[in-house]
Amino acid sequence: MDLIIKNGTIISPTETYQADIAVIDGKIAAIGKGFPEDGATVVDAKAKLVLPGALDVHTHLAMPFGGTVSADSYLSGTRAAACGGVTTVFDYPVQRKGMSILGLINEKKNICESEACVDYAFHCCITDLNDGEILAEMEKAVEEGITSFKCFFVYKKEGMMVDDATFARLLLRAKEIGALINIHAENPDLIDLNIEQFKKAGKTSPWYHYLSRPEYVEAEGDKRAIHWAKNLEAPLYIVHMADKEGLEAAMEAKKEGHEVYVETCPQYLEFTSEVYKREDGRNFVCSPPMKGQESQDALWKAIKTGGIDTIATDHCPFQSYEKDWGKDDFTKIPNGCAGIENMYPYMLAAANAGKLSFNKVVELCSSNPAKIFGCAQKGSLTVGKDADIVIYDPEKDFTVTVSTMHSDYDHTIWEGKQLHGYPVMTFSRGKLVYQDGEFVGEPGWGKFVKRVGRK
């Protein structure tokens, strides 16, 4: 045995039980009791929970946007992930006109080979079909382990938006080759109309970022995406769901038997649109924005009842001076917030407070993302799978501050958030990468996760 974790309480999506875990060559070799300890590293997890590492299936690392680049590189972003119990990070490289999928992905993989601190995978954002070349290349991408592709219904001016016909073509092609289409659903025309009216009226504070894209603007995009997926009989994954009306439409589609998956993010569970009235409201600007209390309540209810499938972060932080570009004009604020190091601790603290079960957190943050996105070796503490393991101390108190985070940003929307219970160790494929507040891993440790298609 290389590693033995003993005396802990193991959490699966369906069970909570006492057992030891033995690891050999980065894999879980056995789960039981009384393993021989000779030559093994032994970790006593008494009075602690032993969980599978989380998968953050929605991040934007080193992403050019809004006249700058998101603050976390592949190194700092995956380092922060490790320190928050995330052992697999999905990034969203953005394909542009003239680019190929695999050319873009290989460029990012080359960076990750020397920088990634935990394992990594990629979706690919498709913005242009390049006269049909992308439709043809998608099958090769699936063979290479890129089994999901993202579309934007927004960011028209930035050249990232797809129209309904392109979206439909991608849905059909994905269904044909065993891939999954992810959608950022908001209505761009209503957003542009609202922005135009607010700017004419001199209403340019961060509060009007929310009012320019309120609940009904996101809901229309959600319902439109669901409508096409249902009628084309294609699977659909809706990213960062934030509004009640769109959520209800997705849940209804699920009840009808359609393959619709819903992701939400911790920021929508913690904050409401009221943050945009704060003096530092610009720091909370992301798209879609945080919504009203009614939507937040609906999200929490859906988490408990199974209407939401995954929790991810949409991690895309920017420096405070960059956020300040829009202090007098919300349209100039780079959109995005931090979250990769906060997701698992936040959700586990909610479980520790009795808001949901620890089993449900594992389902939302680990097992469901692994299943939906074809990560066969991830998502559960099962013999034969990667030894991606988090040890959680339910009695440890932790206050989030920018100084205790492990990213490269200079502020966080989670500043001052108090959590009861916190991860104390993270193992990536059996290697200790985080312990008691410190990153102890190494850049370049992470490996590319070749995912399995849906056929």
Residue 337 phi/psi, 5-degree rounding, is -135, 165
Residue 94 phi/psi, 5-degree rounding, is -105, 115
- How many helices (H) does the chain have, and how many strands (E)? 14, 20
- For tokens 């039980």, what's the residue? 17
pLDDT exceeds cutoff 80 at 198: yes
**Cα distances (Å, whole numbers) of residue 333 to 51, 141, 281, 323, 434:** 37, 34, 11, 5, 33
pLDDT of residue 34: 87
Residue 363 phi/psi, 5-degree rounding, is -60, -45
- If you average pLDDT over every residue of the chain, what do you get? 97
pLDDT exceeds cutoff 80 at 455: no
Q: pLDDT tens digit string along 29-87?
A: 999 998 999 889 999 999 999 999 999 999 999 998 878 999 999 999 999 999 999 99
The CATH number of the structural domain formed by 53-372 is 3.20.20.140
Q: Which of 62-66, 133-137, 142-146, 334-338 has the lowest mean pLDDT?
A: 62-66
pLDDT of residue 157: 86
Q: pLDDT tens digit string along 229-246?
A: 999 999 999 999 999 999
More confident call, 156 vs 171: 171
pLDDT exceeds cutoff 90 at 290: yes
CA dihedral 12, 451, 60, 237 (to 10 degrees): -70
| The pair of three-digit structure tokens given for residue 263, joined into one six-digit string | 């992701």
Q: Does domain 3-51+380-439 have CATH number 2.30.40.10?
A: yes
**Cα distances (Å, whole numbers) of residue 165 to 171, 172, 247, 395:** 10, 11, 24, 52
Beta strands, E only, 228-354 = 236-238, 260-264, 310-311
pLDDT of residue 10: 98
- Going by pLDDT thresholds of 50, 70 and 90, the confidence category of residue 454 is confident
Provide the whole-model pTM: 0.97
| The pair of three-digit structure tokens given for residue 282, joined into one six-digit string | 């610009």
pLDDT exceeds cutoff 90 at 158: no
pLDDT exceeds cutoff 90 at 425: yes
Mean pLDDT of 342-352: 98
pLDDT of residue 431: 98
| The pair of three-digit structure tokens given for residue 178, joined into one six-digit string | 């065993």
List the domain boundaries for the chain: 3-51+380-439, 53-372
pLDDT of residue 175: 97
Residues contacting residue 255 through CB under 8 Å, at least 6 positions apart: none
Among residues of the chain, what percentage have pLDDT more than 90?
96
